[in-house]
Amino acid sequence: MRRALFAALGLLALVLPPAAGLDVARAADAPLAATAQTAPAAAPAKPVGDFTPDRDYRVGPEDLLDITVWREDALKQQSLVRPDGGISFPLIGEVLAAGKTVEEIRDEIAKRLEKFLPSPVVSVSIVRVASNRIYIIGKVNKPGDMPAGRFVDVLQALSMAGGLTPFASENRIQILRREGGKQVSIPFNFGEVRRGIRMDQNILLQAGDTVLVP
């Protein structure tokens, strides 16, 4: 009787459809798939007005930073970078922010907070960009000053200013820059660059540069 029962069970195993095994495997993998779908994506750089700082952006005086420490509401604050490049933060005092990326500032604050908190999780973001600005004047559609990231060239700056007006002297554009206490003028021939000639004229702009379009 027992031998007949075992034989019947073996026969049943042979005739079960293969899909049954697949269903079991799918059921086992279901929680993992759900976790992957709900995992938060990495947050992109936060826009500041019309400007989105890149990872290489260097903080400067007059920039406004938002600094938080996870689960430490007393350490949440907005800090304006002073003309000397520094900010003040609770517990650790003075922090040099100018010339550093937000990641470098975050890492320094976290490291110095370790004396007071176990494994602090620090977040630093830029609320307002004021230090790294360029100026475009003359015959463009939107003259004025604008924030500039680390890699903004002359063509990109002219595009940010809405392009040239019909009356602009496109071949006599000048970039005015201060070097060593003196102001220098760098010529830019838009017509040549537009035709792919002398592309080396399309230089990267620096903070404080003025693009003059006659």
Tens digit of pLDDT for each residue in 127-169?
Answer: 988 877 899 999 999 999 987 765 789 999 999 999 999 999 9
Q: One-letter amino acid identity for 206?
A: Q
Alpha-carbon gap, residue 84 to 99, rounded angstroms: 11
The ranges of the chain annotated as CATH 3.10.560.10 are: 133-213
According to DSSP, the residues that pair with 92 across neighbouring strands are none
List the 64-69 sheet strands across, edge first: 77-80, 64-69, 122-128
Class (C level, CATH) for 64-128: alpha beta
Tens digit of pLDDT for each residue in 55-69?
Answer: 778 898 889 999 999
Q: One-letter amino acid identity for 109?
A: I
The ranges of the chain annotated as CATH 3.30.1950.10 are: 64-128
Across 31-35, 42-46, 166-170, least confident range: 31-35
The pTM assigned to this predicted structure is 0.56
Alpha-carbon gap, residue 88 to 82, rounded angstroms: 9
Three-class HEC string of the chain: CHHHHHHHHHHHHHHCCCHHHHHHHHHHHHHHHHHHHHCCCCCCCCCECCECCCCCCCCCCCCEEEEEECCCHHHCEEEECCCCCEEEECCCEEEECCCCCHHHHHHHHHHHHCCCCCCCCEEEEEEECCCCEEEEEECECCCEEEECCCCCEHHHHHHHCCCECCCCCHHHEEEEEEECCEEEEEEECHHHHHCCCCHHHCCECCCCCEEEEC
Tens digit of pLDDT for each residue in 75-131?
Answer: 999 999 999 999 999 999 999 999 999 999 999 999 999 999 999 999 999 998 887
- Look at the domain 133-213 and name its fold: Outer membrane lipoprotein wza fold like (3.10.560)
